[in-house]
Structure 1
Amino acid sequence: MRRFFLLGLLALLVALGLWAYPLLGPVVRQGALPSPEGLKEPLTLLVYGSSPEYSGYHKRAPERFRGLADAILLVRLDPWAGRVVVLSVPRDTWVSLPGYGWHKVNAYSPLGGPELMKRAVEALTGVRAERYLVVSTEALRRAVDALGGVRVCVEKPMRYRDSAAGLSIDLEPGCQVLNGAQAEGYLRFRKDALGDIGRIQRQQAFFHTLKEELLSPKGLLRLPRAVAAVEPYVQTDLTRKERGAILGFAMKRPELVSLLLPGRFGGGGWQVDREALAELLALYFAGKGEGGEVALGGRLVAVVYGPGQEALAKRAREGLHALGLRVLLHPIDLAPSRTEVLENGPGLLAKALSAELGVPYRISGEAVLGADLTLRLGGDAPF
């Protein structure tokens, strides 16, 4: 019996070594292991993707992390509130910096790299990022493939081809497991009515799914391989101590809040709603509290439903009218996978409607533009 125990222990240690081995290189280079204490104070990061640069037709230049910025995120890691707040900044938002004039915010990456990007995002939001993290597009492919793919519900047909950039997107609607190349296509597609805003909403949905994937048994098993695959394609000014603290904070499974920079289309880009932005920053970046109660009466709710749910949507509209709400029916090509209330805002309205209907809610930029609230109708809708 003792021999079998020792053999079992040895096999366990070998398996653990094989699991952790891919992390050896990144740990040596980055010098960071999870800190048990995690973060002691909030930390704000500017995170963005760097588009590929080309030295000729079809020929990618060596990675300098100075391509046009994509998926621009202002991230607030808040250990006091136990949450991660991600504010997505549309790449087509115009901003002016002294000495540079007016440019779309994504153009400041090739003009001056991460430090200039931090200045540009600060000019837009009033928030200065303390650190930056730049990720090349190759990192996404490598991470998703290392995880064995990510299950995504593609809401409509997506087809686009850019021969010069080597990008080919051909996705059918439906819930499916996407490999790295397909996931990149899903996240970069913007040839629809919402353009970059629709892409941001897909990115937020994807990262919400990716978080769940990483915390699953399969995800945890493959996490070291994913970290090793991504590490060469990331540039950051985070210190070793900060990296360890962030890893320790992440292991505590903080709440994820994803927001879209409030605004509207106009002026050849995205125009910021300063009043709505100030409200979000006060709550999620300055921690000034959620305020008092809110009234649902007169608010506009977008009811999102798919094929075959027309009768359900009408019943939902009647139920919402009974609560004093205005309703906008918003059909889509693929029925939502679950029922939930969404709000791109402080969350008090979503919380109130959630309590009335007995369904979960999320703070997310995936909410329908122009509506105060979004109600997605899944198969478990209470109507």
Structure 2
Amino acid sequence: MRRLFLALLLLFLVALAFWAYPLLGPAVRHGALPAPEGLKEPLTILVYGSSPEYVGYHKRAKERFRGLADTILLVRLDPKANRVVVLSVPRDVWVNLPGYGWRKVNAASPLGGPALMKEAVARVVGVRPERYVVVSLEALRALVDAIGGVRVCVERPMRYRDTAAGLVIDLKPGCRVLSGEEAEGYVRFRKDALGDIGRIQRQQAFFHALKEKLLSPAGLLRLPRAVAAVEPYVETDLTREEKGALLGLAMKRPELVSLLLPGRFGGGGWEVDQKALKTLVERYFLGEGTGEEVSLKGLRVALVYGPGQEALARRAEERLAALGLKVLPHPKDLPPGRTEVLENGPGFAAEALGKALGVPYRVSGEAVLGADLTLRLGGDFPL
């Protein structure tokens, strides 16, 4: 029996070493392992993607993380609320850059690197990032392939070809597991009516799917491999202690809140709604306004449904109208995968409607533009 126990123990240790081995390189280079206590105080980080630079036609330059900023995220890690807030900043927001005048926010990266990007986002949002993380184009592809793909629902055909950048997107509607190459196309596609805003909404949907995959048993098993795969494509000013604290926070499975910088199309870009932004900053970045009474009467709710759900949509519309809501029908080519209420705002109204209907709610920039709330009508909608 003792020999059997020792053999099993040895087998377990070998398996553990095999699992953790891909972390060895990053751990040695960065000196960071998960800190059990996690973060002690909130931390705000600017995360953005760096577009490729070229030295000639079709010839990629050596990566220096100074291309135009692509995806721009202001991330607030709040250990007290066990929450991660991700605010997406459209790259077409105009900002007055010191020494350069009025430019779109994504131009700050090639002009002044991470320091100017921090300044640009601080001027747009009113919150100054303490640290930055910039990733190259290959990071997402490497991450998704390392964890075995991510399942998402593609709502409409996505086709686009950029010969110079070597980008080919050809995704058909439906729900399936995307490879790294397909995931890159999904989050970069912006050739539709909403342009960059539609792309941001798909990115936020992808973030939620990615989080679910990473925190699943299969995702946790592949986590060391994923860290090792992404590490060469990242530049940051996070300290060794902060990296360990972030890993520790991740192990506590924090709530993910994804937001779109509130605003509207206009002025050759995205015009920020300063009043709505102030409310979001107070709620999620300053910790103010923790609760308030909300009246649903008169609010506009976009009712999202797909083919074959017309009868269900009519019944849902009746329930919404009975609550005093103004219903905006929003048919889609693909039925939603699940029923949920969305709000790109403080979340109090979404919570109230979710409780009234008996359905889950989320704070997310995936909500339909022009509506106060969005109700996605899945097959599990309670009648």
Q: TM-score, normalised by structure 1?
A: 0.99
Residue 132 of structure 2 aligns with which residue? 132
Aligned ranges 1:1-383 → 2 under 5 Å = 1-383=1-383
Provide the C-alpha distance between the structure 2 equivalents of 1:308 and 1:380, rounded to a whole number of angstroms: 14
1:138-196: per-residue Cα shift (whole Å, max 9, x none)? Answer: 01010111111111111110000000000000000100111111000000000000000
Provide the C-alpha distance between the structure 1 equivalents of 2:249 and 2:178, rounded to a whole number of angstroms: 29
Query: AA paired with 2:339?
Result: T
Runs of at least 5 residues in structure 1 that lack an aligned partner in the other structure = none
Q: How far apart are residue 290 of structure 1 and its match? A: 2.8
Q: How far apart are residue 332 of structure 1 and its match? A: 1.0
Aligned residue pairs, count = 383
Provide the C-alpha distance between the structure 2 equivalents of 1:43 and 1:5, rounded to a whole number of angstroms: 45
Alpha carbons 1:290, 1:346 under 8 Å: kept: no
1:12-57: per-residue Cα shift (whole Å, max 9, x none)? Answer: 1111101100000000001001111111110000000111111112
Provide the C-alpha distance between the structure 1 equivalents of 2:145 and 2:248, rounded to a whole number of angstroms: 25
Provide the C-alpha distance between the structure 1 equivalents of 2:369 and 2:233, rounded to a whole number of angstroms: 34
Provide the C-alpha distance between the structure 2 equivalents of 1:378 and 1:57, rounded to a whole number of angstroms: 47
Q: After superposing the two structures, state which structure 1 stretch, 83-92 or 94-103, moved more.
A: 94-103
Alpha carbons 1:290, 1:348 under 8 Å: kept: no
Alpha carbons 1:338, 1:380 under 8 Å: kept: yes
Provide the C-alpha distance between the structure 2 equivalents of 1:67 and 1:211, rounded to a whole number of angstroms: 27
Query: AA paired with 1:87?
Result: L
Runs of at least 5 residues in structure 2 that lack an aligned partner in the other structure = none
Q: How far apart are residue 291 of structure 1 and its match? A: 3.9
Alpha carbons 1:48, 1:73 under 8 Å: kept: yes
Q: How far apart are residue 318 of structure 1 and its match? A: 1.3
CA RMSD between the two structures? 0.8
Provide the C-alpha distance between the structure 2 equivalents of 1:265 and 1:364, rounded to a whole number of angstroms: 19
Q: How far apart are residue 289 of structure 1 and its match? A: 2.5
Provide the C-alpha distance between the structure 1 equivalents of 2:189 and 2:254, rounded to a whole number of angstroms: 29
Alpha carbons 2:97, 2:108 under 8 Å: kept: no
Q: How far apart are residue 366 of structure 1 and its match? A: 0.2
Query: What SS does the corresponding residue of 1:128 show, helix, strand or coil?
Result: coil
Provide the C-alpha distance between the structure 2 equivalents of 1:291 and 1:220, rounded to a whole number of angstroms: 34
